[in-house]
C-alpha cells in the first residue's frame, strides 16, 4: 500500500450536501481531513460558520497549493465543470456529486484524470448513499452484467409513493414534496427524468463500459400521470415507478428512463418515498439488490466522505469494463410493451404501435387506454411528446426485444 495522503480540502458550495458533509467530516474518527476554505456565491446568505471559513473567489482555493483536494458541490453544471477542470489541471484531486456535469463531460473528465494523474471520484452523483459506482468498479469488475435497473430519483419516487398511497394528484404531491424539501423549487430536471438519465449514463459506463451520449438516451417522466392511471395500476396490483434501465441484449445495449407498472414480485415494488434502489443482474452473481436513501444532506454527504477517504489511499476509478465489451453497441431500435392512456384519438394516432394487445374506452369518464408494442425509436420521434394529453409506462410483462 502506498503511503496515506494528508487531505487539505477546498470546498465549493455550502448548501444541503455541503453542510451535511461538513458535519459528517467532523464526526468521523477515521479520517484526518481539514477543510481549508469554502467557496460560496451568495454574499448575503447567513452562514453557520464564521466568515473566515469562506471565500467568494474561486482562485483562493484553486491557487492555494496547500489544498490537494477540491470537493465540488454546487448546482450549476457548467460552472462546476470549469472549477473541476481547473482543479485537475493544477494537480488537485476532485470529488464531485454533480451528475449533470459528470454525464455531460464524461470523456473530458476521464481524460483530465489521466493527463494530470489525479483522482476524480463521484459516488455522490449517483443514488445518494448507495455505493453503486464503487461496487460496479471494484466488485463487479470482472462480472458479465446483463442488466441494471433502478429507482434513481428520490423526488419522483416520493411523489409516486404519495400519489399511490394517499390518492393525491400529481400537483398536490409535488407541492408537498417541495414543502418537505424532497423536490426543488424548479422540479423540471427531476420530474421529467433528466436527473435519473444523467445517473443512468454514468452507471452504464461503469456497468457495461460503454460511453453513451446522454442526449441519445430516452427519458420520460411523471407530470402527466392522472388518478385514472393510478387507479388502474392499483386494480391490477401494480405500482407506477419511474425506472432507469440498462439492458444488454446480445451485442446491443439499450438504455432508457420511463415509468413502469411494477408488480409485487419485483424487488423495486417496495421501494417507497425518497429511497433509491438498484437491481444489478450478473451472469453469475444473479440478482443483487441495493437500497438506500437517494438524496438528502447526510446520505449524500456520507457518499462524498467515502470518496474523500478513498483519495487518501490514492484510489482512482479504472473503468475496467471499457474494452471488455468492445463489440457492444448502443441502440434505441427495440420493441417495448407499454400501457398508454390518451386523451383523444388524435393523440393515440401519433403512437405507431406495432401491435395492440388491449384497448379500453370509457366515453363518460374519457379514460381511454391501449396496451401495445411499440418501437422505442418511434416513441422518441413523436413531436412534443411530454406535452401530449397522455401518460405511458412499461407494462410489468414488458420484455425488451431488438427490433431487428
Q: Does position 144 bind a copy of itself by CB under 8 A?
A: yes
User: Least distance in Å: CB of 120 to a copy of itself?
Assistant: 14
Q: Which one, 322 or 378, has the nearer CB to a copy of itself?
A: 322
- CB-side neighbour CA atoms (13 Å) of 215: 2
Q: Does position 291 bind a copy of itself by CB under 8 A?
A: yes
> Which residue among 155, 306, 311, 331 contacts a copy of itself (CB under 8 A)?
306
Residue 367 neighbours by CB under 8 Å, 6+ apart: 228, 341, 360
**Percentage helix, strand, coil, to 5, in the chain?**
35, 25, 35
Q: Which one, 155 or 297, has the nearer CB to a copy of itself?
A: 297
From the number of C-beta atoms within 10 Å of its C-beta (0-12, 13-18, 19+), residue 146 rates as middle
Q: Does position 24 bind a copy of itself by CB under 8 A?
A: yes
Q: Which one, 283 or 357, has the nearer CB to a copy of itself?
A: 283
Q: Does position 292 bind a copy of itself by CB under 8 A?
A: yes
> Which residue among 8, 135, 178, 350 contacts a copy of itself (CB under 8 A)?
135
| 401-402 vs 334-342, strand pairing mode | antiparallel
Residue 228 neighbours by CB under 8 Å, 6+ apart: 341, 365, 367
| Cell numbers that stand for 329 in this block | 453497441
Q: Does position 309 bind a copy of itself by CB under 8 A?
A: yes
Q: Does position 396 bind a copy of itself by CB under 8 A?
A: no
92 is known as an active-site residue: no
Q: Does position 377 bind a copy of itself by CB under 8 A?
A: no
Q: Which one, 46 or 323, has the nearer CB to a copy of itself?
A: 323
User: Least distance in Å: CB of 328 to a copy of itself?
Assistant: 11
Radius of gyration, CA atoms only, the chain: 22
Q: Does position 288 bind a copy of itself by CB under 8 A?
A: yes
How many CB atoms lie under 10 A from the CB of residue 151?
26
- Compute the distance between CA of residue 252 and CA of residue 331 in angstroms, rounded to an integer: 6
User: Least distance in Å: CB of 306 to a copy of itself?
Assistant: 5
Cα–chain center distance at 137: 17
- Give the CA angle between residues 333, 196, 70 to the nearest 5°: 125
Per annotation, catalytic residue among 99, 162, 197, 199: 199
Residues 241-280 within binding reach of a copy of itself (CB under 8 A): 267, 270, 277
* Phi and psi at residue 245, to the nearest 5°: -130, 135
Q: Does position 20 bind a copy of itself by CB under 8 A?
A: yes
Which residues carry out catalysis? 199
The binding site for a copy of itself (CB under 8 A) comprises: 1-2, 20, 23-24, 27-31, 129-131, 134-135, 138-144, 267, 270, 277, 282-293, 298-299, 301-303, 305-306, 309-310, 314, 316, 318, 320-321, 324
Amino acid at each position: 500500500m502506498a503511503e496515506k495522503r494528508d487531505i487539505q480540502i477546498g470546498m465549493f458550495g455550502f448548501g444541503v450536501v455541503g453542510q451535511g458533509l461538513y458535519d459528517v467530516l467532523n464526526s468521523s474518527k477515521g479520517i484526518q481531513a481539514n477543510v481549508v476554505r469554502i467557496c460560496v456565491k451568495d454574499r448575503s446568505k447567513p452562514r453557520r460558520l464564521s466568515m473566515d471559513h469562506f471565500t467568494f473567489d474561486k482562485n483562493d482555493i484553486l491557487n492555494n497549493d496547500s489544498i490537494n483536494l477540491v470537493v465540488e458541490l454546487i448546482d450549476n453544471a457548467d460552472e462546476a465543470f470549469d472549477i473541476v477542470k481547473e482543479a485537475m489541471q493544477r494537480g488537485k484531486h476532485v470529488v464531485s456529486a454533480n451528475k449533470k456535469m459528470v454525464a455531460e463531460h464524461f470523456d473530458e473528465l476521464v481524460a483530465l484524470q489521466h493527463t494530470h494523474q489525479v483522482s476524480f471520484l463521484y459516488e455522490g452523483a449517483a443514488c445518494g448513499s448507495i455505493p453503486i459506482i464503487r461496487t460496479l468498479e471494484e466488485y463487479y469488475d470482472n462480472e458479465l452484467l446483463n442488466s441494471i435497473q433502478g429507482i434513481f430519483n428520490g423526488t419522483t419516487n416520493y411523489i409516486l409513493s404519495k400519489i399511490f398511497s394517499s390518492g393525491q394528484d400529481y400537483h398536490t404531491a409535488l407541492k408537498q414534496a417541495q414543502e418537505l424539501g424532497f423536490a426543488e423549487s424548479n422540479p423540471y430536471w427531476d420530474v421529467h427524468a433528466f436527473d435519473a438519465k444523467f445517473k443512468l449514463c454514468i452507471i452504464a459506463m461503469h456497468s457495461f463500459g460503454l460511453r453513451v451520449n446522454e442526449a441519445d438516451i430516452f427519458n420520460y417522466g411523471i407530470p402527466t400521470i392522472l388518478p385514472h392511471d393510478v387507479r388502474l395500476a392499483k386494480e391490477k396490483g401494480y405500482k407506477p415507478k419511474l425506472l432507469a434501465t440498462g439492458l444488454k441484449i446480445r451485442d446491443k445495449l439499450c438504455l432508457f428512463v420511463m415509468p413502469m407498472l411494477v408488480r409485487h414480485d419485483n424487488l423495486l415494488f417496495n421501494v417507497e418515498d425518497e429511497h433509491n434502489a438498484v437491481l444489478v443482474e450478473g451472469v453469475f452473481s444473479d440478482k443483487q439488490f441495493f437500497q438506500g436513501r437517494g438524496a438528502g444532506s447526510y446520505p449524500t454527504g456520507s457518499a462524498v466522505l467515502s470518496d474523500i477517504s478513498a483519495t487518501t489511499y490514492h484510489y482512482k476509478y479504472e473503468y475496467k469494463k471499457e474494452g471488455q465489451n468492445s463489440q457492444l453497441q448502443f441502440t434505441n431500435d427495440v420493441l417495448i410493451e407499454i400501457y398508454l392512456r390518451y386523451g383523444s384519438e388524435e393523440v393515440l394516432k401519433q403512437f405507431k404501435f406495432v401491435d395492440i394487445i388491449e384497448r379500453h374506452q370509457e366515453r363518460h369518464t374519457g379514460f381511454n387506454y391501449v396496451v401495445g408494442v411499440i418501437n422505442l425509436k418511434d416513441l422518441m420521434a413523436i413531436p412534443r411528446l411530454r406535452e401530449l394529453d397522455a401518460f405511458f409506462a412499461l407494462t410489468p410483462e414488458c420484455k425488451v426485444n431488438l427490433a431487428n
